[in-house]
Amino acid sequence: MQQPNKMTSEMENPPQSGAKIYLRLLSYVGASWGYLLLSFIGYALYSSMEPALAALLKHIVDVVSDGKITESRILIPAAILGVFIVRGIGTFLGGYFMAQVANKVVFDLRTSMFNKMVQMPSSYFHSIPTGRLLAKLTYNTEQVIGSITQAIRIILREGLTVVGLLGYMIYMNWKLTLLFLLVIPLIGIIVSYASKRFRRLSARIQNAMGGVTDVASEAIKGHEVVKIFGGSEYEIERFRQAAQENRRSQLKMEKTRSLNIPIVQFILAFAMAILIWFALSPTISQHMTPGDFIAFLTAAGMLGKPIRQLTDVNSVLQKGIAASQSIFEFLDMSVEPDDGKILAQSLKGDIEWKDMSFSYPNAEKQALKKITLSLPAGKTLALVGRSGSGKSTMANLIPRFYNLDEGELNIDGVSISDYQLDSLRTNIALVNQQVVLFNGTIRENIAYGHLRDASDDQVIEAAKAANAWGFIKELDQGLATMVGENGVLLSGGQRQRIAIARAILKNAPILILDEATSALDTESERAIQMALDGLMENRTTIAIAHRLSTIENADIIAVVDHGEIIEQGSHTELLAMNGAYAQLHNQQFSETAD
Ligand SMILES: Nc1ncnc2c1ncn2[C@@H]1O[C@H](COP(=O)(O)OP(=O)(O)OP(=O)(O)O)[C@@H](O)[C@H]1O
Ligand SMILES: [Mg+2]
């Protein structure tokens, strides 16, 4: 099991700079520039109404102090209503179209991440816990949405408001405005300090979040094991630690933010105090009416909120940058290498291993050592041997789930790495040791992927050959029965037969059966075996089995031990050799005789 905070391999990539990441994020935003423009117009409307409010106030004060109330009694209230109507329209346009932009960005990020994910090499899926991957797709992209909407909204709306208000203040009294502006750099310094801290914390929170989902998803998937082995306390503790780490980081982040706000506010108040002190000096404000004076101070006061929000935008932005950093790192990872140029069109299925060795990424020991073997087209190879000897590894190298280290693996005389990957795989049907079913109907599971357009008759025929039709037809919904996540609504043997039917339907020249009938009773196994025998006749088959009785008829039987082939030959030849195979055979034979 993974430690909650274990760094994953992608963390080792050199970190990109914040500006670079933000620019890249902006390129996603730029794709919906139309909505962005509408949103901009909305916010421009909104912010233009702020100085309008200050100007209205000036008007009211001047009217009252001049005693000319009557003419303005209708006009001023109407203007106030007008201002708020325009402001409301602005708020709606700005907010709605910004949400359009943000959701489009998240949609684009998610889909490109998923597209990437299905192309990742098998070794990647083994190197990263599922929860971490899912957190990237969900939590991290949500963080990006927050960054986009909030940050751009604040920058546009509050930024424009600041521009509008400052413009109005300069228009009223530029000297006073200049004084006010002298304080702004001070605010900038404090903000840049806080933002650095935020970015570090955000990255930590995301790691901690990944930890939370890792532990949870493992406990969910393994709930039966957790229960029967009394693992709940251990899992609870593990989850508590991950959640605790998350909580600590969140609190730290909040502390920095909460301190940031009052400090910025105080600086603003300080600026206001200085401003009023100067404003009260007769030389600066001699030409100002009481209305001018009030309106100026009001505008300066109204600057407080947008400036505060603009400084806070950094934390939002940094969160988003931290989230998109890990997304972009993921998007930049290299996918399964596919340099092969040769299109594998209907291969014959001549398979040849020459001194082939392989070790799993990050593994110390070689999983396969100097395998030399040749399997002529249409023949059957059975791999037998102890658990962990390397049989599944040998099978998984044929569809190139992993790349070879040394030696050759040729099909029809061409190295498998010279074939174009997709075309190679269309020639191979595989029944995994761990059956994989998708949450859909039985029909969808048999006719999966490229097979999706198969007719009902073809699907039924494949189900019959896999000895599955008997149980399928007794189900109320037949082929339309839902199988549940990974087929939990079916029995282990039923699942296996669905997987076999899928492989049969594929009708590929190379068939790999990795313990394909291990979950079946002897009778069902025999029935399938007969169907499979027919199926194997004109295709190259690699069958892996622990029950030797199922592979006795194989053309070649190879005994794998510690990653090496220690014996090969037909059943009778191997028995006559009286070596490892004979020993295995005698063991099983005496067991069944008991
Ligand atoms: N993804 C992996 N990463 C690293 N090592 C692996 C991986 N999968 C398998 N191994 C190692 O490779 C060796 C061979 O495993 P393999 O699955 O091929 O055995 P097997 O012969 O199919 O065993 P079984 O009969 O139990 O299915 C084992 O020692 C195993 O620990
Ligand atoms: Mg295996």
Domains defined for the chain, CATH in brackets: 17-332 (1.20.1560.10), 343-427+542-594 (3.40.50.300)
Ligand 1 geometric centre to CA of 516 (Å) = 17
Q: What is the pLDDT of residue 371?
A: 92
What are the backbone dihedrals phi and psi of residue 354, each rounded to the nearest 5 degrees, phi first? -130, 110
Q: What is the pLDDT of residue 190?
A: 66
Tokens 């982040």 correspond to what residue?
A: 253
Q: What span, in angstroms and rounded, lies between the C-alpha atoms of 262 and 446? A: 63
Q: What is the mean pLDDT of each run of 10 residues along the chain (594 residues)?
A: 37 60 85 91 92 89 79 84 94 91 89 91 84 83 80 88 91 84 70 66 69 81 79 87 85 76 74 78 77 86 80 76 86 86 86 92 88 92 91 92 89 92 90 85 90 90 89 90 85 87 90 83 77 78 86 90 92 89 84 60
Residues in the chain: 594
Q: Is 126 in the pocket of ligand 1 (CB under 6 A)?
A: yes
Give the contacts of 130 (CB within 8 A, at least 6 positions apart).
Answer: 214, 217
Encoded tokens for 45: 């409307």
Q: How far is CA 307 from CA 181, 192, 300, 398, 453, in A?
A: 12, 14, 11, 62, 60
Q: What span, in angstroms and rounded, lies between the C-alpha atoms of 175 and 284? A: 8
Q: What is the pLDDT of residue 1?
A: 36
Q: Is 392 in the pocket of ligand 1 (CB under 6 A)?
A: yes
Three-state secondary structure along 228-259?
HCCCHHHHHHHHHHHHHHHHHHHHHHHHHHHH
Q: How many helices (H) and strands (E) does the chain have?
A: 23, 10
Ion ligand 2: residues, CB within 5 A, are 392, 433
Q: Is 369 in the pocket of ligand 1 (CB under 6 A)?
A: no
Q: Is 389 in the pocket of ligand 1 (CB under 6 A)?
A: yes
Ligand 2 geometric centre to CA of 389 (Å) = 8
Give the residue, out of 123, 357, 392, 514, with the most ligand 1 atoms within 8 A of its beta carbon, to mutate for a pocket test: 392
Ligand 1 geometric centre to CA of 517 (Å) = 19
Q: Which ligand is nearest to the CA of 358?
A: 1
Whose CA is closest to 161, among 350, 300, 58? 300
Encoded tokens for 289: 């009416």
Is 382 in contact with 395 (CB distance < 8 Å)? no
Ligand 1 geometric centre to CA of 389 (Å) = 7
Q: Which ligand is nearest to the CA of 124?
A: 1
Q: Which atom of ligand 1 is nearest to the CA of 123?
A: 1
The structure's pTM equals 0.72
Q: What is the pLDDT of residue 8?
A: 38
Residue 380: strand pairing partners: 541
